[in-house]
Amino acid sequence: MDQPAGKPAMMRFEPESGWQEAGEPVAISDDTIKSDDRQTSSDQQLSAEALIELGESIQDVFNSLKINDPRLQVWAQVHATIRLIGGKMQEKKSLEARIEELRAEIEGVRTLASELVVGAYKNEQEVNAASTLRLHIAESFNEKLMRVLKN
């Protein structure tokens, strides 16, 4: 004999372990939030794609219930907000990549400027050396001409 259809179970999504039955409510305290802030790093955060997928999954779950209660429209807003967050995360990622590119470009220009300053300094040394040599030659000619002209 067929078993009667079971009562639908409420599920919740845990980022670390995925979908689970919602047995007891999860209490969130300030300590929990602070410890979560310390634990988040770039490799622990949900990627933008995973976040968008999560929002779509939530929307699909509530759409599949086919309950005609206008109050459930809030889940569409949740989904839209999650998509917005995902988009902003993708934008942040592309901006961070652009910042890294700019850092590399700045370093290249700094290196070029340093090389140009060294080259300009060497040119000044050569110009100074040539001027000093010309000055010594001019002094020597001056002394010889003065001796010749006095005699």
Q: Residue 43 above 50 pLDDT?
A: no
pLDDT band at 79 (very low <50, low <70, confident <90, very high): confident
Q: What's the pTM value of the predicted model, to 2 decimals?
A: 0.45
Contact by Cβ (8 Å): 19, 58: no
Instruction: Please give the mean pLDDT across all residues of the chain.
Output: 78
In angstroms, how far apart are the furthest CA atoms of the chain? 141
Query: pLDDT at position 50, please?
Result: 79
- Percentage of the chain with pLDDT > 90? 36
Query: pLDDT at position 44, please?
Result: 44
Q: Residue 73 above 80 pLDDT?
A: no
Contact by Cβ (8 Å): 96, 62: no
Q: Residue 104 above 90 pLDDT?
A: yes
Query: pLDDT at position 126, please?
Result: 95
DSSP string, 78-142: HHHHHHHHHHHHHHHHHHHHHHHHHHHHHHHHHHHHHHHHHHHHHHHHHHHHHHHHHHHHHHHHH
DSSP string, 28-42: --HHHHHHHHHH--T
